Structure formats: structure tokens, C-alpha cells
Amino acid sequence: MSTVLEVRNLETRFETHEGTVYAVNGVSFQLDEGETLGIVGESGCGKSVTMLSLLGLIPTPPGVIAGGQAFFLGRDLLKMAEEEIRMIRGSQISMIFQDPMTSLNPVLTIGDQIREPLEEHLNMVAAQSKQRAIELLNLVGITDGASHLDDYPFQFSGGMRQRVMIAMALACSPTILIADEPTTALDMTIQAQIIELVKDLRKELGMAIIWITHDLGIIAGLAHRVMVMYAGYVVERAMVEDLYEHPSHPYTRGLLGSLPRVDAESDKDLVNIEGMPPDLLTKPVGCPFAPRCQYVLSRCREENPVLDELKNGHELACWWDIDRHKPRYGR
Amino acid sequence: MPFSTRASVITKKEQTMATTTDIEMLAQQGILARKPRSLWGDAWRRLRYSITARIGMVIAAIIVLTAILAPIVDPYNPKLDSNLDISRQPPSAQHIFGTDRLGRDIFRRIVHGASLSLSVGVVAVATAGIAGTILGLVSGYFGGATDMVIMRIMDIMMAFPSMLLAIAIVAVRGTGLFNTIIAISVVGIPNYARLVRSMVLSIREREYILASHMVGVRTPVIILRHVLPNSLSPIIVSATMGIGGAILTAAALGFLGLGAQPPAPEWGAMIGDGVPFLRQTPHMVFIPGMAIMLTVLGFNLLGDGLRDALDPQMRE
């Protein structure tokens, strides 16, 4: 299987009045054709900023892409001119956002908005794009698409709006679909429907997916590999079953441990991760998770662990061996 | 199908909860009176229900129809109308508004003056609106130096009292209807530019604009197709109220003799003509004054109604 996206050492910062915000600090990952990569982490850990950086959607007065490369089908996205990358957005790499209520333009019809990428990237004429829009609506489970083309977003429910967003994103059959927390704003039953829809579409169209979420429950049934991020760093990465069976980073353990379980005793408190989310205004000396880690060593505060491969593709950035209860690498 | 208020309450609630297939089902069962409407349809419906808006619409409609139909129904050549024998007659059976200094029937002049005033009002506002919108879009969307330069020029223009600026422009270009229109429209541009710029600044950051970038839409298309339609509501309200203001300014210029020149039946000029005779034959001043007042009132009420109808907070 070929690699469609290879990101190396992406660094993104925001120069603000209060200082420099280190949003993404050396993130590297690879995405293969047809693969689904889950990116997990708490709010503010840099998941969305990474994706927006790849597509040149970071506003460049405060934002700066400070380093790194992102190869998509052989070309570096970060070095492309605006016009070049504009042609990739929406046609080869698409993104859907969290809040379907605000992601659709309220004064344009659904039909107009779905036809926009078709007419822009595939140069379709009105009759063709209308036809294709109806097909796309059918694809995402909105039957009788023809009568909905002239409807406005406010006439739809949240789940249907998200389906419309998905239809827009898949209009030009992209190679990669980036889903930035698309179900977070929806209620549970609709969430399940949307996830099922995406799985069916994946089977049918075969695109690679990057699914960003902070809900570990969703990722389990959806992703092939999962990447855990914290404070702009990648702290762990593994195949999904491996991650859930052998979470090796204290943060990952904390995330999994804090999930409410159906089989837990009802009088026990939920486990939470002590401490506060990191302040991104300072570039940390040592591991960014050290202030909150229950296994912290003196080495952790001095040296930021690098992402290292353990076995079968399980990567980890940590000085502590959580299974054997001793420091890795002897110190 | 008759439209009932009760059905609209149900409609709004169902709209927020139901999917469109549910809506269709309910429509078939006769529970929903009609399919939900677009933004403009909804605004129109709300406009119709406000009493003041309806009064405004009626007055504005009367003025507009008068302005359009008068030249067709009753072609008027003011030079042929004077009859010094009946000069300055008070209102009577043959001349319901009386006659002016040169014996011309004031009612007829009022009716034909409507098209003068209205054309100044509408054209000046439309020109100012379009120019101001373009400046506001460019300024708001691109920001930076462009924004600063455009806004400082607007600030300079707004620093002048509008009447003085209009008089100055007329002084440079000369009198007459066309130059009045230019003067009033130039004076009005900064208002629309600032209004549009402020809307654009807020819309630019909305998620659907990011989504449009995401889809790969080109910048000019984003500005015209996505940003502009969302900025229209305050422009429409301001323009409608602006017609009233433009008519007033045109009348003031006419009063000073700087507008449409005699013998054109411009309302402001008619007031100016009547002022020397205020004690003896006040109708020469008050009747054109009332015409101006009613026209401006009509458009202001309409503008108020539009503002309420288009106000997003008032829609559930």
C-alpha cells in the first residue's frame, strides 16, 4: 500500500501579544492509501492546528509554519503557493468540521453549496453538477435529493447537515478526508449513524481518513492506527488494538482510565488525570506531560523523550516503562 | 390555503426538531400549512404583520406609483403652465392645493415633483450603496494597509457636515438634478462602507467561510457569493432609511437654489419660492413641506419595519 501523506517534523507557532504559542512541535506521521488514522488528544493539544497547517489554512499574521515538510503524492504542501494548494483543497484533500450548524452558509441553498466544489474543481456545468449533487446526497443517505437541493441549511437537523458536509467533502472523490471532530456536536444516536455512514463510504470509495477526536470510544471501532497527541507533541502511536490492549504512555493510560465504563461499580469515583492542561506559551524543558505524570523521573524534567519504536509499529515517547515498572534505557 | 398564526407556531417548533422527511409527512397530514420559507420569504411575512411597516409600505408605494405614472398620465411642461392672473391663489375647487407665484397649479407640481425627489433619493442611495459596499468589502476582507487607507479616506469624508460637503460639491460641479445626485451620493458613501466593513469583519471569521476555503473556492467568489449575501441585511435597512435622508438633503439643496433649477417642480425649490409669501399665503410653503414630510416618513417606517423583519434575534 502506498503512502499518500508523509509529514515530517511539522512545527507551527502563533506569535501573539502575550508571547509565542507553540501549538505544534515536531509532529511526524504517515498515512497510507485507504488507511484510517485516528488522532486523539485533549482540547488544545494541536490536533486541529496540525491539519489546518497542512492545508495552508492557518492565518499567517499570527501563525507561522516554523518548520517541517508534508509530502502529499510527492509534493510538499508546506512549500506550495496559495493557488496550487487551493486546487488540492476540496478536490484531493477534504475536511469536515465539528459544528454542522455553522459550517454551512445560511443564505445559500444546500444545492448551491454542494455544487460549488463540483463546478470549481471538476468544471462541471449546472446540469451536470445538479445531477451529481443529487447522487451525492443519495450516497450520504439523504434520499429524494432532488427536492432538497433548494432547501436552506436551517431547514435541516444537525445530523442531516453533517451528512451534507460529508457530501460536499466527498464531491470530488478526494484521496484524503480529514474529519475534525465531526460528531462531537451531535447527539449519541446521530453520532452512531454518521460513523456508520463514514464506514460505508470508506468501503465504497476507499479514501484515507484522518479522524480527529477526543473521544476514545469512537476511535476503537473506526481507526486502523491511532496517534495520541499532547501539547503539540506526538506521545504515542500504534495500531488500534495494540493501543487499547497495551497503552504504554501514562497519558494514554489516563485517557483510557478516565472513560466511564458500563461495568464499573457505581459508587467509585471516575479516574482523572491530575493537574492542568499545559500552557502552550512556554516551550517545555523536558517532557510536556511531566507536571501531571504519576511516574515522573528526574530525567523526564530535563529531557523531552523522543518518539521511539517499540515493536510491531507501536511508537512511544516516554522514559518510563509502564509494564515493567522501571525506567527505559537504563536511567 | 389560508395562513393561520397557530400553524406558524407549530411550524417553527417542528422545524428545529424534525428532519425534512418528517416535515413532508406532516405537510401531507395537513398539520403544516406550507413548506418552510427562505430568509427573504420569512422576512416578508414578518414585514406584512407590522402595522407601522404596512403604513410605510403604503405611503412609499403611493409615492413611487405617483412618480412613475405622473409623466405618463399627465405630461407636464412647467414653462407652459404659468398664468399670472391666478397667481398665489389659496386652495380651491379648481386648484386643490392652490397656485404658486406664477399661477401654476401646486397640486400638479407636487405630483410631478415626486419623480424628481424620488429619483434623487433612489439613485443617490443606490450609487452610494454600491460604491460603499465595494469599498467596505475590499477593506473588510483584505485588511492591512488597504483597510487603513480606505477607512481614513472615509473618516475624512465623514468629518465634514454632510450639507456643507454636498454644497461644496455642487459649488464645484454646478447646479442641477444630476449634480445634486452626485453630491448626495458621495456624501453617503462612508456610511455604507463602514457598515459593510463591520459585517465583513465578523463574517470573515465564521466557520462556513473557513469551510469554503476548505472546499477550494477562489477568493473573489468567496467575497461575492459567500460574504456579501450575508452582509446584505443592514445595507438594505440603511438604504431604505437613506432614501428619506437623501430626499431631505435634496430638498435642502433645492431650497437654497442649488438643486433642480426652476421651472422644475422640485419640492424644496417650491418651499424656497413660497417663503417670501409665508404670511399671506402659507400654503405655498406648507404643502410642499408636507409632501416631503410624508415621503420621508413613509420610507423611514418602511426601513424600521425592514430592520425588525430582518433582525436575526427576532427569529426563533
CB contact (8 A) between residue A103 and residue B23: no
Contact B52, B301 (CB under 8 A): yes
* pLDDT for the residue B4: 39
Task: Name the pLDDT band for A321 (thresholds 50, 70, 90).
Answer: confident
CB contact (8 A) between residue A106 and residue B208: yes
pLDDT tens digit string along A3-42?
A: 899 999 999 999 988 888 999 998 999 999 999 999 998 8
CB contact (8 A) between residue B17 and residue A157: yes
- Single out the residue of B232, B217, B162, B163 nearest to residue B190, CA to CA: B162
pLDDT tens digit string along B21-80?
A: 555 555 555 444 445 556 677 777 777 778 888 899 999 999 999 999 988 888 888 777
Helix/strand/coil for A287:
coil
Q: What is the mean pLDDT of chain B?
A: 83
CB contact (8 A) between residue B20 and residue A90: no
**Size (chain A), residues:** 331
Query: Which residue(s) pair with A321 in the sheet?
Result: A326
Residues of B in contact with A152 (CB under 8 A): 38-39
Contact A295, A325 (CB under 8 A): no
Query: Which residue(s) pair with A308 in the sheet?
Result: A316
CB contact (8 A) between residue B226 and residue A108: yes
**Structural domains present in chain B:** 5-36 (no CATH), 51-314 (1.10.3720.10)
Residues of B in contact with A179 (CB under 8 A): none
Helix/strand/coil for A151:
coil
pLDDT tens digit string along B240-288?
A: 889 999 999 999 999 998 888 888 889 999 999 899 989 988 988 999 9
**Size (chain B), residues:** 316
Contact status of A106 with chain B (Cβ, < 8 Å)? yes
Please write down the HEC assignment for all residues of B21-43: HHHHHHHHCCCCCCCCCCHHHHH
Q: Which residue has the cell 454646478?
A: B174
CB contact (8 A) between residue B230 and residue A103: no
Selected residue of A105, A157, A210 to mutate for chain B interface (largest B Cβ count, 10 A): A105
pLDDT tens digit string along B123-154?
A: 999 999 999 999 999 999 998 899 999 999 99
* pLDDT for the residue B15: 44
A91 vs B18, B39, B216: nearest CB: B216
State the Cα–Cα distance between residues A294 and A291, nearest whole angstrom. 9
pLDDT tens digit string along A101-121?
A: 888 998 899 999 999 999 988
Contacts of A275 (CB under 8 A, 6+ apart): A291, A292
State the Cα–Cα distance between residues A308 and B89, nearest whole angstrom. 103
Residues of A in contact with B206 (CB under 8 A): 102
CB contact (8 A) between residue B211 and residue A154: no
A86 vs B207, B208, B216: nearest CB: B216
* pLDDT for the residue A307: 85
Interface of A with B in 48-77 (CB under 8 A): 55, 57
> Could you give the C-alpha distances from B307 to A230, B233, B239, B314, in angstroms and in order?
48, 8, 11, 10
Helix axes B207-215, A158-170, angle to 10 degrees: 30
Contact A255, A197 (CB under 8 A): no
Please, what sign has the CA dihedral across residues B255, B257, B261, B263? positive
State the Cα–Cα distance between residues A176 and A202, nearest whole angstrom. 11
Residues of B in contact with A104 (CB under 8 A): 208, 211
Q: What is the mean pLDDT of chain A?
A: 88
Contacts of A312 (CB under 8 A, 6+ apart): A239, A242
DSSP letter at A155? G
In this predicted structure, which of A136-145, A261-270, B256-265 has the lowest mean pLDDT?
A: A261-270
Contact status of A319 with chain B (Cβ, < 8 Å)? no
CB contact (8 A) between residue B215 and residue A94: yes
* pLDDT for the residue B38: 62
A89 vs B19, B216, B229: nearest CB: B216
CB atoms within 10 A of CB B145: 8
If one compares B92 and A161, the residue with the highest pLDDT of the two is A161
Contact A102, A158 (CB under 8 A): no
